[in-house]
């Protein structure tokens, strides 16, 4: 397994995703002799995991079962240990497309944070591209390096521990794209420009506050960036449910059964608990939005270096 290549069977040292059921999963480091506790019981790595195919069902000691999934950057984003607020796949998707990233691209990123976006970028630029990521917090930088090693992608990424606003990305004139997710991105625009290749490089800045966006757009304009464009993207998820709506009792005329005009002869259910006669229900499949949805992550500002 690797975050940039699919493998078929689970091996010692792999990072695998244990899937328990609806939106419930966690990552696990596969190791001979280790056991993992789940609410369905124990999973013994040596017998239950190593050598099995990814996508297999594993029965735990208490009888319940789980699925073992091959890691992807998207699954990693949903399950990684948060050291900072992270970017989710919705934003990551549009960033990847708007920065025109593809195999072979050279990308610069700051800050590395918890590595959510980093993993996705590495996946996209592999096998011939490279990610230069800058993180000013020393422990986070070190943890990121460790994770990239464990996930088999260290050859595709360079983590630098410095302040991008003061010292830039550590490279010049080679990047196809630059991504900024820092408190004061306008201070790094100049450095971003010098890291980017001579013509046609793309830049993206992610900021939660509109005031930050305004300052950043101004800085971009002053630095000669063109095609400056700000947008935001939000995800709406639906649950698929069979809904049953009762037909109201509008009373009954003396002999007439169907005075309502509503076709209540629709598939009504056998065990209607309603005590009144002649009350059925109509069933239908519906896509029900979640009770609460993410209302804002941040504004994304893109531009081109001319």
Partner 1 sequence: RKIIFEKQWFYLDNAIGHIYGTTFEVTSGGNLQLKKDVEESTTETKEAGTDNRNIVDDGRSQKLTHDDIKALKDKGIKGQEIVQQLIENSATFRDKTEFAQDKYIKKKKKKYEAVITIVKPSTRILSTMYYAREPGKINHLRYDTLAQMLTLGNIRAGNKMIVMETCAGLVLGAVMERMGGYGSIIQMYPGGGPVRAATSCFGFPKGFFDNLHEFPLSKMDSLLSGTFSTEALPLEPENSTLLEEESNGLTDEKQTSLQETEQESSHEAAMEINQTEEPETMDINAEDVEFKENKVKENKENVREKQRKQWERRKKLIETAALLREKNADGLIVASKFHPTPLLLSLLEFVAPSRPFVVYCQYKEPLLECYTKLRERGGVVNLKLSETWLRNYQVLPDRSHPKLTMSGGGGYLLSGITVLLDKVKADASNLEALKMEEPSSKRCKVQDVNC
> Which residues in 94-113 contact partner 1 (CB under 8 A)?
94, 96-98, 100, 102-104
Q: Answer yes or no: are the C-beta atoms of 56 and 18 closer than 8 Å.
A: no
| Rounded Cα distance, 174 and 197, in Å | 5
Nearer to partner 1, 66 or 165 (CB): 66
Residues 226-245 that bind partner 1 (CB under 8 A): 228-244
> What would the DSSP string read from start to end of 98-145?
HTT--TT-EEEEE--TTSHHHHHHHHHHTTT-EEEEE-SSHHHHHHHH
List the binding residues. 114-117, 135, 163, 181
| Rounded Cα distance, 282 and 204, in Å | 50
For the bound state, the minimum distance from the C-beta of residue 2 to partner 1, rounded and expressed in Å, comes to 10
Q: What angle do CA 106, 227, 215 make, to 5 degrees?
A: 90
| CB atoms inside a 10 Å sphere around CB 253 | 10
38 binds partner 1 (CB under 8 A): no
For the bound state, the minimum distance from the C-beta of residue 304 to partner 1, rounded and expressed in Å, comes to 7
Binding letters toward partner 1, positions 159-198, x by CB under 8 A: ----------------------------------------
| Rounded Cα distance, 25 and 139, in Å | 26
SS3 13: coil
247 binds partner 1 (CB under 8 A): no
Nearer to partner 1, 57 or 166 (CB): 57
Nearer to partner 1, 84 or 268 (CB): 268
- Crossing angle (nearest 10°) for helices 138-150 and 116-125: 40
**Which of these ranges, 106-114, 161-169, 187-195, 223-231, lies near partner 1 under the rule CB under 8 A?**
223-231
Dmax of the chain from CA atoms? 88
Nearer to partner 1, 47 or 139 (CB): 47
Residues 258-297 that bind partner 1 (CB under 8 A): 269-273, 281, 283, 285-287
**Which of these ranges, 125-133, 154-162, 163-171, 249-257, lies near partner 1 under the rule CB under 8 A?**
125-133
What DSSP character marks residue 101?
A: -
11 binds partner 1 (CB under 8 A): no
């Amino acid at each position: 397994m690797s975050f940039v290549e699919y493998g078929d069977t689970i091996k010692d040292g792999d990072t695998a995703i244990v899937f328990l059921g609806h939106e419930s999963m966690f990552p696990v480091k596969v190791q001979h002799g280790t056991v993992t506790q789940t609410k369905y019981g124990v999973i013994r790595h040596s017998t239950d995991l190593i050598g099995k195919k990814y996508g297999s069902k594993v029965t735990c000691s208490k009888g319940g079962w789980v699925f073992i999934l091959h890691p992807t950057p998207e699954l990693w984003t949903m399950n990684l240990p948060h050291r900072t607020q992270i970017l989710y796949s919705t934003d990551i998707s549009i960033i990847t497309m708007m920065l025109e990233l593809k195999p072979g691209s050279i990308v610069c990123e700051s800050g590395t944070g918890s590595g959510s976006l980093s993993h996705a970028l590495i996946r996209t630029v592999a096998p011939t591209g490279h990610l230069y990521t800058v993180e000013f917090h020393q422990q986070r930088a070190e943890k990121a390096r460790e994770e990239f090693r464990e996930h088999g992608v260290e050859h595709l990424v360079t983590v630098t521990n410095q302040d991008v606003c003061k010292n830039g990305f550590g490279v010049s004139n080679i990047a196809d794209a630059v991504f900024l997710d820092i408190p004061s991105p306008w201070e790094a625009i100049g450095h971003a420009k010098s890291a980017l290749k001579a013509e046609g490089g793309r830049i993206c800045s992610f900021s939660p506050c509109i005031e930050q966006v305004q300052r950043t757009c101004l800085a971009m304009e002053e630095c000669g960036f063109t095609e400056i464009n700000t947008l935001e993207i939000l995800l709406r998820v639906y649950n698929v449910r069979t809904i049953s709506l009762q037909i109201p009792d509008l009373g009954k005329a003396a002999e007439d059964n169907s005075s309502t005009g509503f076709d209540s002869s629709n598939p009504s259910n056998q065990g209607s608990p309603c005590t009144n006669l002649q009350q059925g229900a109509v069933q239908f499949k519906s896509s029900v939005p979640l009770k609460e949805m993410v209302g804002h992550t941040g504004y994304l500002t893109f531009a081109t270096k001319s």
